[in-house]
Amino acid sequence: MFTFHNVCSVPSSFQLLGIPGLESLQIWLSIPFGSMYLVAVVGNITILAVVRVERSLHQPMYFFLCMLAIIDLVLSTSTIPKLLGIFWFGAGNIGLDACLSQMFLIHCFATVESGIFLAMAFDRYVAICNPLRHTTVLTHSVVGRLGLAALLRGVLYIGPLPLMIRLRLPLYKTHIISHSYCEHMAVVTLACGDSRINNVYGLTIGFLVLIVDSVAIAASYVMIFRAVMGLATPEARLKTLGTCGSHISAILIFYVPIAVSSLIHRFGHQVPPPIHTLLANFYLLIPPILNPIVYSVRTKQIRERIFQILKIGTKMK
């Protein structure tokens, strides 16, 4: 590490603290975090396996669900193993390039996940408002292109973040990050240089992803509910709304924690650091844990296939 004027320095690595203020409890915190990570991995791999082997699930909605499962695996795996390393071995050291790579993965795939939810809302809109054209509009190639578009948007939106830090902010007041992973604002606030451009760009991306995507999703569901209210019988309305229930639950599970965490980081200066760091970790863990559970409970084909696999495993024993 090279130091200038005994104040700012060019770090070759950073030191992650884990959960600041709860250092004495971190070994105990590793139990719930490790358990939640294990549930997330098993749950999402199960969803991928079930959709792959069950041909009746080879439909747009379930292909999008598989994309969500892959994204959730990336988000949780990019943070939790490192967090557990800090808890168990005090392995908080992370190289500058590794830190920027982790930052890119987290923010990029969170953006991609928002794009997939937007694509899923479009799928439900076509399936309910124009069911006769659903199979011709949402073909396998179209689903693949929508997934690729969400990925490219995430790369284009988030790619400049680590580049701007690398090129514009080489000097830092300290190499200690009071966080469990390399979150964008947690790194930028340590910089000695002018970080206004980084802050403005981060806010702009947050607005485009959280606000624009959520408004577009809400608009699609307004049109869906209008179409549902036009159905002849209450039974038909309930059945149609039931197909959207799991999607709406997944949207809320994703957007609410990330919105709360973002607001607290930028405006909740009175919130204790441990609370903020815990919330920041939960928004990367809650969707990977709950998405497979929500879709398994509310989707008959997935539920039945999982029960069938469990029965076969029991008989083999």
CATH numbers and ranges of domains, the chain: 13-316 (1.20.1070.10)
Separation in Å, CA 257 to CA 251, 262, 276: 11, 9, 11
Q: Tell me how crowded residue 210 is: count the other CB atoms within 10 A of its CB.
A: 17
Q: Among all chains, which residue has been given the structure tokens 């969707």?
A: 287
Token pair 């949780």 is at which residue?
Answer: 76
Q: How far apart are CA 85 and CA 164, in angstroms?
A: 28
Nearest to 6, CA basis, from 188, 165, 192: 192
Other CB atoms within a 10 A radius of the CB of residue 62 amount to: 21
Q: What is the pTM of this model?
A: 0.91
> What is residue 239's predicted lDDT score, i.e. its pLDDT?
66
Q: Residue 71: which residues within 8 A CB-CB, separation 6 or more?
A: 109, 112, 113, 116
Amino acid at 162: P
Cα 77 to chain centroid distance, Å, stands at 11
pLDDT at res. 130: 86
DSSP state of 207: I
Q: Which stretches of the chain score pLDDT less than 70?
A: 1-6, 231-233, 236-237, 239-243, 265-266, 268, 312-317
Cα–Cα distance between 115 and 149 in angstroms, integer? 8
Which pLDDT belongs to residue 280? 86
The reported pLDDT for the residue numbered 303 is 80
Contacts of 155 (CB under 8 A, 6+ apart): 108
What phi, psi does 16 have (nearest 5°)?
A: -85, 135
DSSP 3: E
pLDDT for residue 276: 83
If you write DSSP's letter for every residue of 123-148 in order, what string do you get?
HHHHHHHSGGGHHHHS-HHHHHHHHH
The reported pLDDT for the residue numbered 317 is: 58
pLDDT at position 238 is: 73
Q: Give pLDDT, residue 13.
A: 94
Angle at alpha carbon of residue 237, lines to 232 and 241, rounded to 5°: 155
pLDDT of residue 160: 96
